Amino acid sequence: MKRLSTRSFIVKMFLALVGFSFIFGHCGNVFASDEKGNILAQVGSYRLTLEEFETQIQSLPPQLQMALLKNPELKEQFLDRWVDITLIAQEARNQKLDQDPAVQSKIEDIMNAVLAQEFLQRELEGEVDITDDEIETYYKDHKDEFIDPESVKARHILLKVPEGADKKAWEEAESRAKDIKERLKKGEDFAELAKKHSDDPGSKNSGGDLGFFTKGRMVPEFESAAFSLKQGEFSDPVKTNFGYHIIEVQEKKAADIKTLADVQVQIRQTLQTEKQQQLQSVLIERLKAKYPVKVNKDLLDGDKPEEDKTPSAK
């Protein structure tokens, strides 16, 4: 499967995230102020000022803002995206697509989402204050959340046995695994043997390297063998549903608890989210009292067969 480059991935991410907000935030800005001569782009009568462009960038997630700061070319692509979208949107208006009821419904949904997000941000801004005592209390009460479990760094050589294979195929794979173990004991290089003999396409080219992993990540037989080995040891042939493995443990890390300093920012964000959700729930209840709400969830079952909706006889 073809992988996207990091740059391409970032570009696609932020274009997907901000495409709509960029359209609706600026396509209607026909007479943007140009007192300072800061018109960054113009498509027909639609203008984008430098200030508006920077505001849009500041509304992106932090990791995408950082990517734009580090790579000016991405900033140019962001601007090109505005031009492309505005061109297409202008032609869509020319063809009166904005008057199509189905399109108007989509626009209203997007507008509602943007308005709701902005209202919540402004309404809750400054309302959430997390103290150091709250952070410390959370840390003491949730220490289990901050444990780095025991892990091992290992590599393996897999002698694969096809699904449904007979006893002879399993015996042949085990024999090959034992032979490789003997060659390792005599000093042959693990990575070279893995590249030549391993049937694991995901690791063979890197010499069988699996990196660090914790318990629960591998099949039980493999995991049990890996965690029982000492650093630098090779396993005997380990049978799993994939075939036979020879495992070498390269490094072991004992379980460790992160310090309060390590997780302080994480805890603050967690507590802020919890408080914001609580405040949002209170706000929602207040708004329900102000604006009547009616929901008929029974209609969600409309596609079910009639017998599914009929109460069982008692």
Of 200, 225, 254, the residue that ends a domain is 254
Token readout for 306 is 């009639």
Distance separating alpha carbons of residues 226 and 214, to the nearest angstrom:
10
Of 254, 271, 286, the residue that ends a domain is 254
Residues 90 and 154 in one domain: no
What's residue 16's pLDDT?
46
Residue 142 belongs to a domain: no
Residue 115 belongs to a domain: no
What's residue 59's pLDDT?
78
What's residue 21's pLDDT?
45
Domain count, the chain: 2
Residues 87 and 168 in one domain: no
Domain of 232 in residue numbering reads as 150-254
Of 254, 275, 298, the residue that ends a domain is 254
Residue 130 belongs to a domain: no
Residue 99 belongs to a domain: no
Question: What is the number of other CB atoms lying within 10 angstroms of the CB of residue 19?
Answer: 14
Residues 166 and 250 in one domain: yes
Residues 248 and 166 in one domain: yes
- Output the domain CATH number for residue 180: 3.10.50.40
Residues with Cβ within 8 Å of 120's Cβ and at least 6 positions away in sequence, in order, are 280, 283
In whole angstroms, how far apart are CA 144 and each of 22, 116, 149, 259? 43, 36, 10, 12
Which amino acid is present at 104?
Q
Residue 85 belongs to a domain: yes
Mind giving me the DSSP string for 185-249? Answer: HTT--HHHHHHHH---TTTGGGTTEEEEEETTSS-HHHHHHHHHSPTTPBPPPEEETTEEEEEEE
Residues 87 and 10 in one domain: yes
Residues 90 and 159 in one domain: no
The C-alpha angle 272, 278, 279, rounded to 5 degrees, equals 90
The C-alpha angle 249, 251, 257, rounded to 5 degrees, equals 130
Residues 69 and 162 in one domain: no
Contact (Cβ atoms closer than 8 angstroms) between residue 48 and residue 39:
yes
pTM over 0.85: no
Residue 229 belongs to a domain: yes
Token readout for 16 is 């997907």
Residue 37 belongs to a domain: yes
Residues 15 and 83 in one domain: yes
Residue 236 belongs to a domain: yes
DSSP annotation of 143: G
Distance separating alpha carbons of residues 95 and 88, to the nearest angstrom:
11
Q: What is the pLDDT along the chain (314 residues), one digit of tens a residue?
A: 333 344 444 444 444 444 444 444 444 444 444 445 688 999 988 899 999 888 888 878 888 888 888 888 888 888 899 899 999 999 999 999 999 999 999 999 999 999 998 899 888 888 888 999 999 999 999 999 999 999 999 999 999 999 999 999 999 999 999 999 999 999 999 999 999 999 999 999 999 999 999 999 999 999 999 999 999 999 999 999 999 999 999 999 999 999 999 999 999 999 999 999 999 999 999 999 999 999 999 999 865 555 554 444 43
